[in-house]
Structure 1
């Protein structure tokens, strides 16, 4: 922890920086992210890709998800079931979205639950080593762990704006690192072996 800041402090600072992006700028940056991601995210035809529908000042992933769908990805988005669990429900064209927790919307219980091959992960902050700070609820960490318990190893791509990068994220040995991050500046894979 080089600068001595806690995860909570870093989360608050980086989310405030993200909130300060003007809405029109956020649209432009989201489109740049879609443009970079469309060519850089590699997957087999029919692979399951989890994205997310934006809340608050998050990146709007809908243009990127549409592009990935056009490349034969099956899309899904997270739905919060309870205070500890998210599942990924298939997002199909024309399906109704229902209100969920924290101002989210997602497919209803009739939608198929899928296990993602590629996960586009929202975050508060990230560093150059692929460590991330989520929103503090641990939903994604538990979901990723659950997939790993099934023997699956989804590719983890953090989705953020450049202003969310920090010098160093405090991390524990059990923290799961990102394989890459995608911002308006481009797609950056991380070089690391294992998950430490």
Structure 2
């Protein structure tokens, strides 16, 4: 059946054909990335570490939202650990399921000693603390996981819509975080079937490339 955005101001339906195409593509791409060997995943994480180190300014005080890998996503723990070990002036945050606004995310500061809990999807996230919440517009960079992407900067997520709802403000905001998708090369497709609420990316980083839009 057609799918609708859960955001109050983005309620345009997509066709049943587009919905089914996105669902089938999501299933295919998730299976491909989960089929990668442990060694291939480690190499991908290390390669993306090098790409991010070259792409993002390392001597600037940036606040970067990242994620903890799940379901075959590129592992960014190499990048985070490397930044901590080198004492770089980078602050990290992780997404947390919003306790009040259903279907939205909060971003909480993430450090090596942060207390973690397991959310309903089985993913670790920082224990909720108002003191550690970083307003989304205050983030400099958001490194976003994705299921599929194309060369136009379109992103296919897991289907929950969390990032699209949370980042809907970026469609019209003058000041907004830089949105960077992180993916394996095999997650690229020629063209994604897009929906009206999809938030386009500013760049996509894979183990071999940096695509900027």
TM-score (norm 2): 0.80
Q: Distance in 1 between matches of 2:158 and 2:106?
A: 17
Q: Aligned match of 1:33 in 48, 64, 67?
A: 48
Provide closer, same or farther for how the CA distance between residues 150 and 132 of structure 1 changes in structure 2, counting only shifts above 3 A.
closer
Task: Tell me the SS of whatever aligns to 1:98.
Answer: strand
Q: Aligned match of 2:133 in 106, 113, 117?
A: 113
Matches within 5 A, 1:138-157: 138-146=161-169, 152-157=175-180
* 2:9 corresponding residue in structure 1: none
* 1:84 corresponding residue in structure 2: 103
* 1:16 corresponding residue in structure 2: 31
Task: Tell me the SS of whatever aligns to 1:102.
Answer: coil
Is 2:157 the partner of 1:165? no
Task: Tell me the SS of whatever aligns to 2:31.
Answer: helix
Q: Deviations over 1:139-161 (max 9, x none)?
A: 00111124667754111100110
Is 2:202 the partner of 1:187? no
Contact residue 37 and residue 186 of structure 1 kept, 8 A:
no
Pairwise CA RMSD of aligned residues? 2.1
- Give the C-alpha shift of residue 186 in structure 1: 2.5
Task: Tell me the SS of whatever aligns to 1:103.
Answer: coil
Q: Deviations over 1:96-148 (max 9, x none)?
A: 21111211111111251113220101111000000010110110011112466
* 1:48 corresponding residue in structure 2: 63
Q: What number of residue pairs does the alignment pair up?
A: 187
Provide closer, same or farther for how the CA distance between residues 127 and 136 of structure 1 changes in structure 2, counting only shifts above 3 A.
same
Task: Tell me the SS of whatever aligns to 1:34.
Answer: helix
Q: Distance in 1 between matches of 2:147 and 2:55?
A: 22
Contact residue 58 and residue 89 of structure 2 kept, 8 A:
no
Select the structure of larger CA radius of gyration: 2
What are structure 1's unaligned runs of at least 5 residues?
A: 191-196
